[in-house]
Structure 1
Amino acid sequence: MAKQTVFISADHGLAIVYFLQSDVVPTLLDAGVEVVILTDDGLKEQIEQRFGREGLHIEGLRLGEARKYYDTVSPTQQWWLNFLRRVGSSNRINTEAMDSHIRQVDAEAVGKRKLLMPFMKVAISILRRSKTARQWLVRQQYAFSPDLYTDLFEKYQPSLVLASTPGWRYDRYLLRQAARRGVKTAAVVVGWDNPSSYSLPGAPMDWITCWSEEQKRELILGSDWEAERVHVGGIPSYDGYFRREWLMDRDEYFKLHNLDPNRKLLGYACSFITFSPNYQNVEAIARLVAEDKLSQPSQLLVRLHPNHFMDEPLFAGEREKIRQLAREVPNVHVVEPVPLGGSLGYYSGEDMPEKTSMMAYSDVFLTVYSTMVVEAAIHERPILAVCIDAPGGWNTPGRFDLPLTEIGNWPTHQRFRQAGAGRVATNATQLQQAINLYLEQPTVDLEACRKFIRDEVTYTDAQAGKRTGQFILSCLEKSQGSGQ
């Protein structure tokens, strides 16, 4: 293969883990491919210092310019196109997650957006039933294709542009420009729920690699991908879990958080806070711990969600309530995600040892159907989805929220439940019973948990990064064969 160059859009902290803290990029570099990582402009030096090696180049993704274009060039039209793209999947797949987003937009709409919403619901109904309509919508998006990266295309002459989504984020502008220049495009699926939550491509795409046959089915049936363009490669971000390469020593980890080595550890990862408070879950678990209502002496470690650090008073308020609870209630502790910096925020790989150790050493792992149920299952921990409704939700006029008892049929949530990979608690009594069951019989759901992992991530051999890298190399070969 002649010397070729790949652009990789890493516009999210999880994408940094996927591409750079796995074997994906090293596999490309070892094959002699030049790799250009496009990421947050403020992080170029930091990423260069940590991951730099011959053949790897770091450039800015110009997210500020992309946002400005989105906000100033027909912003209303772009917003509606993006909304319809996100929720316009075929109804041949489970659309519960997208339907909740529609409900949110409808409930929070004001002004002209409120007036247009009934017409958009009709449009969504058509999109759900018509492949022709979906293809038309996808084409309409391409009218918005600014030349933000012309100098980079001319400097590096890439043969392939790879992104962590098929144009679902601001990466759509890079991918659209690539397609207009005749450069092949590919995407990876970084998130467990992505194919069932974000729907149609936002740019012309040639290939995509995903975690599992289930995700492939969602892409084909929901978003009209051709089967031969969808590759199942597993999830490179989790290779480190299978290798246990991030795991801290147990004594060291317990000392880090002032945990009692003689008490059972309940690890709770906040989740779903965009739609619902988590405080009622945390408080219910803390009460069981503090009042010794569990079968064995226990302690609670709460991991705050990255969204708790957004510029959002509701989320920040819950963050402070959880911190205050930990100060007042014995045997309750808090751990906070570590920010990567720049616009990539608190979704980062900076604390993979922390995440790994929390899951590995939790005697029971609890959350609200977070992707961390998959990660905890890899560590073969008992898993409990805590779905206690918050009275009144966020209790904020104009703010949409969802009762946690109503989200069990979201696609990934449903698969977790149907697999029997863990239990679900919707009230304090069920919570107490489920925790006690797992404290007394920690392996009761282990075989179902292992099957769940095989179904959801496909490959458990810690080779997903190399496998995905090889897939990208095959895309380069096809690009070369087509004259790119």
Structure 2
Amino acid sequence: MKTIFISILSGVEAKAILRTDILGTLLARGNIRVVLFVKNAARAAFYEKEFLHPRVCYEVIDAYAFSPINTLFDFLKNFLVRTNTLALYRRLLLIDRKNVFVFVGGFLFSALLARPLFQRIARFLDASFVRDQIFYSVFERYRPSLVFLANLFDTVEVSMLREAKRRGIRSVGFVNSWDKIASKGFLRLVSDVVIAPNHIVKEEAIYYDNVPREKIFVSGVPQYDMYWSIENILPREVFFQKMKMDPKKRLIIFGPIGKTLSNSDWEMIDTMHSLLQVHIPETQMLARFQPNDFAGDEAEFRKRPWLHVDVPGVRFGTGIGMDWDMTAAELLHLKNTLFHCALLVSYASSISIDAAVFDKPIINIGFEIRHGDPAWKQPTRRYATVHYQKALATGGIRLVKSEEELIEWIKKYLAHPQLDRKGRARLVHEQCVYTDGKTGKRIADFLLRQL
């Protein structure tokens, strides 16, 4: 029996690993045992109901303390690499906090450290001198043959990787999101091989993090596997009846950006509603909130009896962040929603890729609805991030600069949905690579070849 450790410490990891063919393909081998690492007992209990298997074990990692030196290296990772995204974040904090000393110090510190020599030294010292024992006992108990880390930027998972390296156990890391390389700092430690969802992320890992080209496997995006077939698509009448909406009206999805990055979601919902009522009354809007955000208190919903809303996600904590999950039913509902919608309106978000997979026109809001908010809370500033600049460059996303332009392009896309189709196809090709629905199996087969 060979044991594989897999980290499931966030909703993104669960969506990519548990809700795809990865876990099932691994367990199809009768000699494979999988140990899933989760953040808390609530998550373990939640997954055990759905993924109960005699060769699946759950380990809760919730009681740990990082050593001062570990915390130091976690701080330094933000200065060991220079990206336009990190520079943007520092500028936003400068605008909001007015701390010129911190901004200039950070700039100079990064200019000094973000060089291959210092990166190699930092990795050597990190691997050699950090001595946290978070995973010592579970490695002793299970004696794994392989460690699969679904978030190489997470401090806890870096500790798991460090333990694996000390013991000579083969490791595989997965860059589970298109924005991670340019926004999360330097990869403190590099696994034996790295799985990248696409060639863009692969090249970023080589350029920013000095990951050897030959150590990177391009897999595709596993959570999109379910999108590439029409299986489980509801008839239009059934879907709209379920949503208590009119199947004769065109459906427009609005994707709020969330409380962390904006205070204007509700104002934008009201603006969208008013514009559609006046200019395109034959449409209807669905506000689909992000699973890692809290949509707001019930009072906001009661103010808007006309609002149709999706608030997906199971939340295991009270804060905004990574401690969430989406059930299989919620992911299938999203698939049906995208299939039946006419177009998407949102800010900078990965849901733009989801919509492009279904060849739905995509409009991004390029104007602020509130003025005087902190820079960090101005959602239009997110278009300057590295990953989203590349998405916009495909021509598959229409960035509008005013309410008038927003309505103009909604009308155009409703009348001619084929507009910008080549750009959307390019966006899908660059971000997804594979459209065969077999990425989950491809990743699992790759993991099995590492044993």
TM-score by length of 1: 0.84
What residue number does 1:22 align with?
20
Structure 2 CA distance for partners of 1:125 and 1:404, relative to 1, 3 Å: same
Post-superposition offset of 1:400 = 4.6
Residue among 263, 268, 281 paired with 2:268: 281
Matching residue's letter, 2:349: S
- Show the counterpart of 1:481: none
- CA 1:307 to 1:15, structure 2 compared with 1: closer, same or farther past 3 Å? closer
Q: 1:45/1:273 Cα in 2 relative to 1: closer, same or farther (>3 Å)?
A: closer
Partner of 2:353: 374
Work out the CA distance in 1 between the residues paired with 2:257 and 2:92: 17
Distance 1:119 1:30 in 2: 53
Is 1:33 paired with 2:32? yes
Matched position secondary structure for 1:231: strand
Alpha-carbon distance between aligned partners in 2 of 1:140 and 1:104, rounded to the nearest angstrom? 31
Gap regions ≥5 residues in structure 2 = none
**Conservation of the 8 A alpha-carbon contact between 2:347 and 2:380:** no
Aligned residue in 2 for 1:99: 87
Match of 2:314, SS? Answer: coil
The answer to whether structure 1 residue 364 and structure 2 residue 343 are counterparts is yes
**Comparing 374-383 and 350-359, the one that deviates more:** 350-359
Distance in 1 of aligned mates of 2:369 and 2:166: 49
User: Matched residues in 1 for 2:78 and 2:219: separation?
Assistant: 24
Q: Separation in 2 of the partners of 1:79 and 1:346?
A: 25
Relative distance call for 1:198 and 1:184 in structure 2 (3 A) is same
**Aligned residue-pair number:** 443
CA distance in 1, matches of 2:253, 2:364: 12
Q: Are the structure 2 counterparts of residues 29 and 443 from structure 1 closer, same or farther at C-alpha, using a change threshold of 3 Å?
A: same
Q: Return the match for 1:467 from 431, 438, 442.
A: 442
User: For the Cα contact (< 8 Å) 1:17–1:237, is it kept in 2?
Assistant: yes
Q: Give the secondary structure class of the aligned counterpart of 2:176.
A: coil
Are positions 1:180 and 2:166 aligned together?
yes
Match of 1:302 in 2: 287
**Which shifted more, 421-430 or 169-178?**
169-178
Q: Which runs of 4+ in 1 moved over 6 A?
A: none
Q: Counterpart amino acid of 1:237?
A: Q
Q: What is the one-letter code of the residue matched to 2:91?
A: R
Q: Which shows bigger deviation, 211-220 or 355-364?
A: 355-364
2:432 corresponds to: 457
Q: Is the 8 A contact 2:258 2:289 kept in 1?
A: no
Aligned partners of 2:123, 2:419: CA distance in 1, in Å? Answer: 47
RMSD of Structure 2 on Structure 1 (CA): 2.6
Cα 1:287–1:150 shift into 2, 3 Å: same
Q: 1:240 — aligned with what?
A: 226
Q: Which residue of 1 aligns with 2:119?
A: 134
> Alignment partner of 1:401: what SS?
helix
Q: Taking structure 1 as reference, are residues 449 and 352 closer, same or farther at Cα in structure 2, changes over 3 Å only? A: same
Report if aligned partners of 1:39, 1:58 keep a CA contact under 8 Å in 2. yes
State which of 66, 73, 79 in structure 2 corresponds to 1:81. Answer: 73
Matches within 5 A, 1:80-479: 81-86=73-78, 88-90=80-82, 95-106=83-94, 118-128=104-114, 130-142=115-127, 143-245=129-231, 247-271=233-257, 273-277=259-263, 278-291=265-278, 293-294=279-280, 297-309=282-294, 316=296, 323-324=301-302, 326-327=304-305, 330=306, 332-339=307-314, 341=316, 345-350=323-328, 351-392=330-371, 395=373, 400-401=375-376, 403-476=378-451
Please list the CA deviations of residues 134-184 of structure 1 after superposition, one character each: whole Å capped at 9, or x if unmatched: 223334444444212222111210122111111434322222222222222
SS at match of 1:326: coil
CA distance in structure 1 between the aligned counterparts of 2:118 and 2:421, rounded to whole angstroms: 45
Q: Secondary structure at the match of 1:448?
A: helix
The AA in structure 2 aligned to 1:23 is D
Gaps of at least 5 residues in structure 1 are 310-314, 477-484
- Structure 1 Cα separation of the partners of residues 291 and 300 of structure 2: 14
* DSSP 3-state at the match of 2:293: helix
Going from structure 1 to structure 2, the CA distance change for 1:17 and 1:415 (only over 3 Å counts) comes to: same
Deviation at 1:340, TM superposition (A): 5.0
Return the alpha-carbon distance in structure 1 between the equivalents of residues 20 and 369 of structure 2: 39
What secondary structure is seen at the aligned counterpart in 2 of 1:407? helix
Q: CA deviation at 1:100?
A: 2.4
Quick one: distance in 1 between partners of 2:284 and 2:57?
46
Q: Decide whether the 8 Å contact of 1:360 with 1:379 is kept in 2.
A: yes
CA contact (8 A) 1:213 1:232 kept: yes
For residues 232-284 of structure 1, give each alpha carbon's deviation from its aligned partner in whole angstroms, at most 9, with x where no partner exists: 01011110111344544433332233211121111011226433333343232
Contact in 2 for aligned 1:380/1:449 (Cα 8 Å): yes
Change (3 A) 1:192 1:108: same
Percent identity of paired positions between Structure 1 and Structure 2: 21
Give how far 1:347 is off. 4.1
Counterpart residue type for residue 19 of structure 1: I
